[in-house]
Amino acid sequence: MVETNASKSFISFEPLGIVLAVMPWNFPFWQVFRFAAPALMAGNAVVLKHASNVPGWALAIENIFIKAGFPENLFRTLMISASQVEAIIMNPHIRAVTLTGSEVAGMNVAAIAARALKKTVLELGGSDPYIVLEDADIDKCVATAVNARMINNGQSCIAAKRFIVVESRLEEIESKKAQIMSSLIVGDPLLPESQVGPLARGDLRDELHAQVKASLDAGARLLLGGKSILGPGFFYEPTVISDVRTGMSLYHEETFGPVSAIIPVKDAEEASSVANDSEFGLGGSLWTNDIVRGEKLARAVESGAVFVNGMTVSDPRLPFGEIKRSGYGRELSHFGIREFTNIKSIWIA
């Protein structure tokens, strides 16, 4: 209820209808459920166009909803190609579109949806900052930093990518991070002892190596790795590179793989400035024992989320989303449930 001059007034959150979801391969279950659960809770129906290399996962998700007792056809998987997405978006039965994927894919889908005046939610790339201040707990910070960078072999939009470190702790961070990264076991992801698996495709590995080489040629300093691993599978060495500066590929571009870029800064003020010197704004992490200062700096970082003394994750209790070229809109929490609704005001005299 909302108090107005009416006898009764309130806000009604009503479903939009059928929502098309265009989803990626790197977390083929979680990213679909992260969108679908809130959208279905709000009363919408969902059609899924999953990545072309995970059709089995797409069909399995549809079967899960059927087994869970959802009404028939409330969630459907479309076995279509990328070239057919435009026709689906333009179909009058589709009322909104959500996409998780690349910037290029997001811009294309948003442009098509805009022609039909349909709402979109986009979760695109990220180059998340991982800020380390002088009073951070370095042992915990570095151990978490390795996990934050290496999740899914570094193929995650919310993986930490730019490690922004105050100069007073730089040498310690470099040494400990290189030591831990060098001990990781690279191998077949089906083997229990493996800690780092391959990249998804050869072109992704080639692009990652080109970013590494360009940054080293521009003056960055190699601490560990920096090469492809020969043999079957698209493996790349766990890599640590320091002295990354503005103008370098690793400073500005998203890196999708096991490469850590360390950016030295003088102090917290410069750390905040460097964190925001990016086209992306998905997540971020900040390490300090001064919680008051940590909260203040977290507010200054331009992103959809900042985790103080922890790694960025998508938690169903918190809204998940982004700003700048990382996209717009929110998933999860009550914000995600209301994202694909008509927020209707009802006023009764």
Selection from 325, 278, 314, 312 nearest residue 105 by Cα:
325
Q: Which domain holds residue 168?
A: 128-308
With tokens 């964190």, the residue in question is 275
- Which pLDDT belongs to residue 258? 98
Are 120 and 142 contained in the same domain?
no
How do residues 128-180 score in pLDDT, each as one tens digit? 999 999 999 999 999 999 999 999 999 999 999 999 999 999 999 999 999 99
Q: What is the pLDDT of residues 75-105, one digit of tens each?
A: 999 999 999 999 999 999 999 999 999 999 9
Q: Give the C-alpha separation, 164 to 144, whole Å.
A: 14
Specify whether 182 is located in the same domain as 220.
Answer: yes
Give the pLDDT confidence score for residue 328 in this predicted structure: 98
In this structure, the answer to whether residues 255 and 141 fall within a common structural domain is yes
Same domain as 155, residue 75? no
174 and 267 assigned to the same domain = yes
pLDDT along the chain (349 residues), means of 10: 95 98 96 96 98 96 96 95 97 98 96 98 97 97 98 96 98 97 96 96 97 98 97 96 98 97 98 98 98 97 98 95 97 96 97
Residues 204 and 56 in one domain: no
The pLDDT value recorded for residue 101 is 95
pLDDT score at 250: 98
Question: What is the structure's pLDDT at 77?
Answer: 97
User: 105, 103, 137: which is closest to 22 by C-alpha?
Assistant: 105
Residue 253 counted as domain residue: yes
In a domain? residue 315: no
Tell me, yes or no, whether 317 lies in a domain: no
For residue 69, the model assigns a pLDDT of 95
Give the per-residue pLDDT at 302: 98
Catalytic residues: 123, 157
CATH number for the domain that contains residue 30? 3.40.605.10
- What is the pTM (predicted TM-score) of this model? 0.94
Q: 273: how many CB neighbours lie within 10 A of its CB?
A: 12
Cβ burial, residue 214 (10 Å; 0-12/13-18/19+): middle
Q: What's the total number of domains in the chain? A: 2
The Cα 49–Cα 36 span in angstroms is 12
Inside any domain, residue 3: no
Instruction: Report how far Cα 78 is from the mean position of its chain's Cα atoms.
Output: 24
